[in-house]
Structure 1
Amino acid sequence: MKLKTNLPIFIVFALFFSFQDQAIAQEDPLSTPRSEFWRNVRFGGGLGLAFGNNNTQITVAPSAIYQYNEYIAFGPGLNFNYQKFGDFSSTLYGVSGIFLANPIPEIQLSGELEQLFGTQKINDIGGSQSFDVNNTALFLGVGYRYGGVTIGARYNVLFDNNDGIYAEAWQPFVRVYF
């Protein structure tokens, strides 16, 4: 059972580091020239951390974006999310799409549509219960950007206190693209 829980983590990190190797290999001057499309593709992603009263939430989200011009970028991503709140825990994985707008170089606006699947577990005096879940989230965010790093906050406009996925609608984030 432990292997099943760690499999999504392994997949997310394996994909993230394979993207990094590809990005480095594509910049090798001895390699074949990249097409115009691949010159505009950037790899990276985001991290999210939320802590509250007996609550921990960790999100790792590697992604790739196509930099359409200096103002607009968009692309797909993968997500891994772990949450623990008292006797409740969840391990989630999923896919996302991200749209980034930079009205000025230092400010980044974002929209992220995310679909998560996973397992939640509740431990109580009578034992533990485990069940499968899925959730759709739409995050709108704003951040300060310096180079390829953006630090900011995002808000889940589809947040529901009863969905059991996110503890709060607001989340801080760190997003990096190389």
Structure 2
Amino acid sequence: MNLLVEAIGGPAVPPLRLLPPAAADLLVTLGAPPRLGAHLRAVHDVAWRLTGWLAGAYPALEFDRSAVLFGAATHDIGKVTHPQELSGPGSRHEQAGRRLLLQAGVAPRLARFAASHGSWDSPTVEIEDLLVSVADKVWKAKRVPDLEQLLIERLVAVCGQEPWAVFLALDTELDELAAGADGRLAYQNGFPVDVR
């Protein structure tokens, strides 16, 4: 089996949800590195769990769950053209990813996540962008207090709970999600950076 196809659609340990078909097809069409496919699958899985929890815990919060899931599944797609950023720092993949998605016919409202996942502190950020950014951090157990505070503020505004109560609920959920980071990192790192 092709390593990319295995990374995005094969059995995974720990179990990880499959990417949305449109995202998986894009990765195959673009010849994405297998490690990128595994990374996107892990982040998508965390986004799926996080958005499911939010929908139950904060039903007054309006957000486009399918957009968040597509964004999580494609946020780093620009690393197809900047593969050095798979194993090192860099942000050139962000605008490159947005361009790739737009060229592939993806709607701008969905292509934006490739560019916005690294700029979550922008004044124009929407709730969906925050959720993709949180998933992109928590999948590897990285916690970013300023990012999480922005999400807490959005939740407080719609639910009427005290900020401390929202903080405790979100903190508990993110701790649970972060607990699976070692397995997700091992899954990702089991695939090569280069395309073979």
* TM norm structure 1: 0.33
Larger RCO: 1 or 2 (CA < 8 Å, sep 6+): 2
The structure with the largest alpha-carbon Rg is: 1
* TM norm structure 2: 0.31
Q: Identify the structure with the greater helix proportion.
A: 2
